[in-house]
């Protein structure tokens, strides 16, 4: 009698399936670390006095350009200002700038995308072509031009960065709106007597925003980087503001004598941007 299973490896060699762990229930370590980094940065921005007793602006001239030590953990700069204190005080500028930038991008981008996606037709064609034009201009160039129009300053730099992200927000919002707009429940809402604006406000907007908010979280890291870049180029907050990009730019002059002046602010920017990206990705995945 033929046994159809005879040709398979014998039961002795059968391996048990590897045990499975409940990954879905425990957040991964990397994500927890990322959250920790962001929380610390946020705490620095809200209450810098708790983390350092030294001033971020006024230095002690006799203690200039000191290497990291017990008294100054990350060393001091050319005016004798404590670098750690400057980084901690600078969080406020970099983070608030990032939130302002993402806020500008989100609000205006959502408005354009929502209008284009829900009205459709010629309005959509015109709005989306404008967005295409915006996407065609290099974002740094656009930001620099805007700063020259708006004037120099911390808030201006943030707004300029925000404006450059309007186009990508508008595109994402439009594509979400178009999908939601076609769904049965939106049609049902019109069918039960809903007026256009009511339906857009009650159904289309909330259902399109989930993905967009996750994208906004992802944009935070990018905004910090852009604002630091503008600060580095001298288009952001004026000295002696301890904004992170400006710290790196000022430290550049002493690169050979005092490596810590560029290395530590750079490291902080990298860590915070990485953490913001990690959290943004997790949020994006959770909304899928």
Partner 1 sequence: MTNALLEPRAVGAETRPLLRISGLEVAYDGVPVTHDVGFEMAPGEVVALVGESGSGKTTTAQAVIGLLPPNGEITRGEIRLNGEEVSRWSPRRFDSIRGSVVSLIPQDPGASLNPVLTIGAQVSEVFRLHGRRDRAGIRAEVLALLERVGLSQPELRFRQYPHELSGGMKQRVLIAMALALKPALVIADEPTSALDVTVQKRILDLIDELRAENGTAVLLVTHDLAVAADRADRIVVMRGGRIQEQGPARELLAAPKEAYTRRLLADAPSLSAPALARPGRLGGETAIEVRGLVQNFPTDRGGSFRAVSNVSFSVARGSTHALVGESGSGKTTTARAVVGLRRPDGGKILVNGQDPAALRGEELRQFRRRIQLVYQNPFASLDPRQSLRAAVEEPLLNFEPLAKAERERRVHEVFARVQLAPELLERRPAALSGGQRQRAAIARALVLKPSILVLDEAVSALDVTVQAQILRLLDELQRDLGLTYLFVSHDLAVVRAISDTVSVLQGGEIRESGPVAQVFEAPQTEYARQLIAAIPGRLRRG
The CA dihedral of 136, 139, 144, 149, to the nearest 10 degrees, is 60
192-211 mask for partner 1 (x: CB under 8 A)? xxxx--x---xx--xx----
Cβ partners under 8 Å of residue 127, min gap 6: 112, 115, 116, 170
Token pair in block for residue 240: 């002696």
Site for partner 1 in 202-261 (CB under 8 A): 202-203, 206-207
Cα dihedral sign for 22, 26, 28, 29? negative
Provide, rounded to whole angstroms, the least separation between the CB of residue 180 and partner 1: 9
Task: Specify the residue, 6 or 122, whose C-beta has the smaller distance to partner 1.
Answer: 6
Q: How many residues bind partner 1 (CB under 8 A)?
A: 34
Query: What is the Cα–Cα distance from 156 to 148, expressed in whole angstroms?
Result: 9
Residues 88, 143, 146, 189: which binds partner 1 (CB under 8 A)? 189
Of 98 and 189, CB closest to partner 1: 189
- Of 18 and 151, which has the nearer Cβ to partner 1? 18
Least Å from the CB of residue 288 to partner 1: 14
CB of 279 to partner 1, least distance (A): 23
CB of 199 to partner 1, least distance (A): 9
Nearer to partner 1 by C-beta: 69 or 183?
A: 183
Stretch that binds partner 1, among 1-9, 150-158, 165-173, 215-223 (CB under 8 A): 1-9
Q: Near partner 1 by CB under 8 A, which window of 2-10, 70-78, 79-87, 259-267?
A: 2-10
Q: How far is the CB of 275 from partner 1 (least distance, A)?
A: 28
In angstroms, give the least distance from the CB of 196 to partner 1. Answer: 10
Q: Which is nearer to partner 1, 55 or 207 (CB)?
A: 207
Burial class of residue 38 (count of CB atoms within 10 Å of its CB; 0-12, 13-18, 19+) = buried
Site for partner 1 in 6-35 (CB under 8 A): 6-9, 11, 14-18, 20, 22, 24
Establish if 149 lies at the interface with partner 1 (CB under 8 A). Answer: no
Sign of dihedral through CA atoms 173, 104, 133, 225? negative
Q: Which of residues 76-135 bind partner 1 (CB under 8 A)?
A: none
Summarize as ranges the residues that interact with partner 1 (CB under 8 A). Answer: 1-9, 11, 14-18, 20, 22, 24, 183-185, 187-189, 191-195, 198, 202-203, 206-207
């Amino acid at each position: 009698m033929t046994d159809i299973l005879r040709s398979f490896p014998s039961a002795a060699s059968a391996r048990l399936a590897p045990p499975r762990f409940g990954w879905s229930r425990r957040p991964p370590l990397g994500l927890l670390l990322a959250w920790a980094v962001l929380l610390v940065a946020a705490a620095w921005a809200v209450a810098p006095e708790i983390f350092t007793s030294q001033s971020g602006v006024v230095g002690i001239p006799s203690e200039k350009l000191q290497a990291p030590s017990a008294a100054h953990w990350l060393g001091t700069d050319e005016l004798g200002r404590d670098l750690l204190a400057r980084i901690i005080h600078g969080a406020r500028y970099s983070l608030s700038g990032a939130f302002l930038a993402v806020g500008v991008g989100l609000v205006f981008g959502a408005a354009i995308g929502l209008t284009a996606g829900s009205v459709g037709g010629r309005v959509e064609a015109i709005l989306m072509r404008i967005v295409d034009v915006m996407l065609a201009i290099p974002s740094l160039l656009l930001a620099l031009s805007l700063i020259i129009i708006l004037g120099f300053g911390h808030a201006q730099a943030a707004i300029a960065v925000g404006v450059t992200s309007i186009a990508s927000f508008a595109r994402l919002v439009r594509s979400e709106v178009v999908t939601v707009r076609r769904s049965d429940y939106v049609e049902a809402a019109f069918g039960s007597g809903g007026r256009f604006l009511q339906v857009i406000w009650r159904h289309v907007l909330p259902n399109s925003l989930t993905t967009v908010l996750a994208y906004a979280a992802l944009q935070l890291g990018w905004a910090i980087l852009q604002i630091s870049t503008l600060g580095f180029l001298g288009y952001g907050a004026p000295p002696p503001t301890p904004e992170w990009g400006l710290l790196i730019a000022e430290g550049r002059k002493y690169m050979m004598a005092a490596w810590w002046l560029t290395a530590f602010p750079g490291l902080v920017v990298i860590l915070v941007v990485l953490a913001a990206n990690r959290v943004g990705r997790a949020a994006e995945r959770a909304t899928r």
